[in-house]
Amino acid sequence: MFRNISVIGLGKLGYPMAQFLSSSGAKISCYDKDEKLVDDLKKNHGEHLHEIGLNNLVNNNNDLIYHNNIRSCISEAEIIYITVPTPSKLDGSFSNEVIIEILDEVADVIIKNKKSYIININSTVQPGSTENEIIPFLESKGLKTNDDFYLIYNPYFVALGSVIRNLEEPDYLLVGSSSIYAAKKITKFYNSLYKNPKIRLLKFKEAELTKLLVNTYLTTKISYSNFVKNICKNFDDISDLRVLESVGLDARIGTKFMLPGGPYSGPCLPRDNLSLKKFCSDNNIQNSFSDEVQKINNETIESLYKVISTLKNQYGIKSFGFLGLGYKSNTQCFEESYSIKMMKFLESLKIKVYYYDPYLTEKFSATKVNSFEELCLNSEIIFLSYIDQHFNPIVQVKHEKNIWDLWYHFSDSKFNRVFHKVSDFKKFVTKISNKNQKIIQFNKKIG
């Protein structure tokens, strides 16, 4: 078991991971080059992350120790967790620039202290990165792999908003390594941290590719669900929800991500799909699969635009509200949020846009309101961007409002007109004027 652990990178994943690792009882030393972020973490302990369960780890009587440089942070470490951004390049592959910058300093410490470290890369990297770029870089500094340093590729499968639960209850732990010593050490550590963990030991490139393939399979299930929704939308006697729930009952398929809803979005799924496409291209592997998944995703977004255009052109709506504007609940992240794209499209049509999102602090061109009631008062139609249990009590207000519910979240609402699939709009749309309301029939073929 490791007694001294260092964590470099304290962002949306790094800080929760550091707190999670503190539950092992090990001494956790931390570093991030963003001094403002570190000061905020010291004062507010990651409140801005909205991660459920994080507060319990913060108060587990094993406080994180912060350092202002990498050298002091790793001086006593037995293992170094590196959890930093690997941003996408224009060609879809991931950049290892930040990892290399950190390893440059780590290498200097190894040389000076004449001490070997286990270096655990948690960030998602392009398949082939460890053997083709990371190890060669460290060796170029005069270090010998599996002697002066031991590398592990150990990405965690987490989703923002549920990072702590994902860290505490992983389906399995993916470990890429070329060292029996490092593999045994990390296996022993995780066996002490978890009860009967499933640990999958692979070669570096196998683990790197597996990480991408898991996420791209999720994009496939989401796009498949939207494909089914598209089949069902023109039939009043077919429920896309019931069909997908039934398909998912087959044990070979499973119910997770089998839900009619919006396109896939967020910081991981879209870019991982592009990364896999680049990997296949670099290795002369034919891959129409990624293109088809992305095509369906794009068509799903376009179908939302079509409905908005109909609302504008045929029914003259002038205001639109978003219940949630980020890509999911319990996070400040709005990367690749389809609601943001819808917001921009609405604004291009000169439709006034309002939003209520209790998690976002970023400023947008749309008007932010402070309550669901205020959203109701200003918006003719309210769009549910994501499922959030916090929306349950606030939506039960006595306003007859049209809620565009892709996710079947408010199906039992007593006070609101709820629409789940596009064809449901044909029943009625409320057009509000200063003096009266008018019910307007929607064409069945919308979208």
CA distance 408 to 210: 32
> Strand, helix or coil at 409?
coil
Supply the pTM of this predicted model.
0.89
pLDDT at 211: 97
Bridge partners of residue 429, in order along the sequence: 440
Given 151, 170, 201, the domain boundary residue is 201
pLDDT at 396: 62
169 inside domain = yes
> Strand, helix or coil at 129?
helix
Same domain, 24 and 168: yes
pLDDT at residue 296 tops 90: yes
CA distance 408 to 241: 8
| Bigger pLDDT: 338 vs 236 | 338
Same domain, 149 and 222: no
Total domain count, the chain = 3
Given 201, 234, 249, the domain boundary residue is 201
pLDDT at 192: 95
Question: pLDDT tens digits, residue range 160-211?
Answer: 999 999 999 999 999 999 999 999 999 999 999 999 999 999 999 999 999 9
DSSP H helices in 233-288: 240-248, 269-282
Same domain, 252 and 383: no
pLDDT at 419: 60
Same domain, 37 and 11: yes
Residue 247's domain spans which residues?
A: 212-296
CA distance 369 to 245: 35
180 inside domain = yes
CA distance 439 to 239: 24
- Name which of 244, 270, 265 is nearest 255 in CA terms: 244
Grade residue 421 by pLDDT with cuts at 50, 70 and 90.
Answer: low
CATH number, position 375: 3.40.50.720
Whether 321 and 381 have beta carbons less than 8 Å apart is answered as yes
Same domain, 189 and 259: no
447 inside domain = no
Same domain, 354 and 223: no
